[in-house]
């Protein structure tokens, strides 16, 4: 299965170990009835990966800013973060969460606008067309050499080649077998996995 993190916002409930910025974004999502934030398991991975991105991080599908808050809480001082959200109201809500963080920018628009600001040390692609094969993002243009791409919201594969609804899982295979990446699927929970790919030198 592919798709948004169902009830990802609620998965943060009663978690008193959240970074302050994540807590703020979760509250904003809850207040505005946005249920599809990234889950804490994804967030912790993003926080960890952000620490290794020296200059620039990008995300598509901001929502109300929960994933971006995990990234910002892990990023080193001076690392620039940009996130694109196509829904104007959600982009406004997320921008408010980060109003005191000069190195974080939320842009309202189509995900393809991410190309204007790259390349990136870390790129987090939301489940939508850009991650699932429709007008797909190009790692060679969007990533620095050795840069990482994260594609979220998969259900862990149990077969090889992976299947989805009885058919070969082309979106998953697109990333796992991408000629410019060395990619692997990471299981974060029994029902949740992500694909992480490193842009190969010279790719």
Q: What is the CATH number of the domain that holds 148?
A: 3.40.50.150
What's the rounded Cα separation, in Å, for the pair 68 and 40? 12
Residue 5 lies in a domain: no
Quick one: pLDDT at residue 171? 84
How many domains is the chain built from? 1
Could you tell me which of 202, 118, 136, 120 has the C-alpha nearest to residue 175? 136
- Tell me the per-residue pLDDT of 5-14, one tens digit each, with 9 for 90 and over: 445 555 566 6
Residue 2 lies in a domain: no
Residue 95 lies in a domain: yes
φ, ψ for residue 116, nearest 5 deg:
-65, -20
The stretches in the chain having pLDDT less than 50 are 1-6, 129-130
Residue 191 lies in a domain: yes
What's the rounded Cα separation, in Å, for the pair 106 and 178? 29
Quick one: pLDDT at residue 19? 93
Structure tokens at 42: 């994804």
- Is it true that the peptide bond before 119 is cis, omega within 30 degrees of 0? yes
Residue 116 lies in a domain: yes
188 is in which domain, residue-wise? 10-199
CB burial readout 162-201, b (16+ within 10 A) else e: bebeeeebebbbbbbebebbebebeebeeebbbbbbbbbe
Quick one: pLDDT at residue 13? 65
């Amino acid at each position: 299965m592919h798709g948004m993190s169902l009830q990802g916002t609620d998965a943060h409930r009663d978690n008193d170990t959240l970074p302050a910025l994540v807590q703020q974004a979760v509250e904003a999502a809850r207040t505005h009835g946005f249920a599809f934030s990234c889950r804490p398991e994804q967030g912790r991975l993003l926080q960890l990966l952000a620490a290794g991105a020296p200059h620039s991080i990008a995300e598509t599908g901001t929502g109300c800013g929960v994933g971006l808050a995990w990234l910002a809480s892990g990023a080193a001082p001076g690392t620039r973060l940009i996130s694109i959200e196509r829904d104007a109201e959600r982009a406004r809500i997320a921008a408010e969460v980060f109003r005191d963080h000069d190195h974080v920018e939320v842009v309202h628009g189509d995900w393809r606008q991410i190309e204007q600001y790259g390349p990136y040390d870390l790129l987090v692609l939301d489940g939508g067309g850009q991650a699932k094969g429709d007008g797909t993002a190009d790692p060679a243009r969007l990533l620095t050499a050795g840069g990482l791409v994260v594609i979220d919201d998969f259900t862990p594969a149990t077969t090889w080649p992976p299947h989805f609804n009885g058919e070969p899982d082309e979106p998953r295979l697109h990333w796992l077998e991408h000629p410019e990446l060395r990619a692997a699927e990471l299981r974060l929970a029994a029902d949740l996995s992500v694909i992480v790919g490193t842009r190969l030198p010279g790719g």
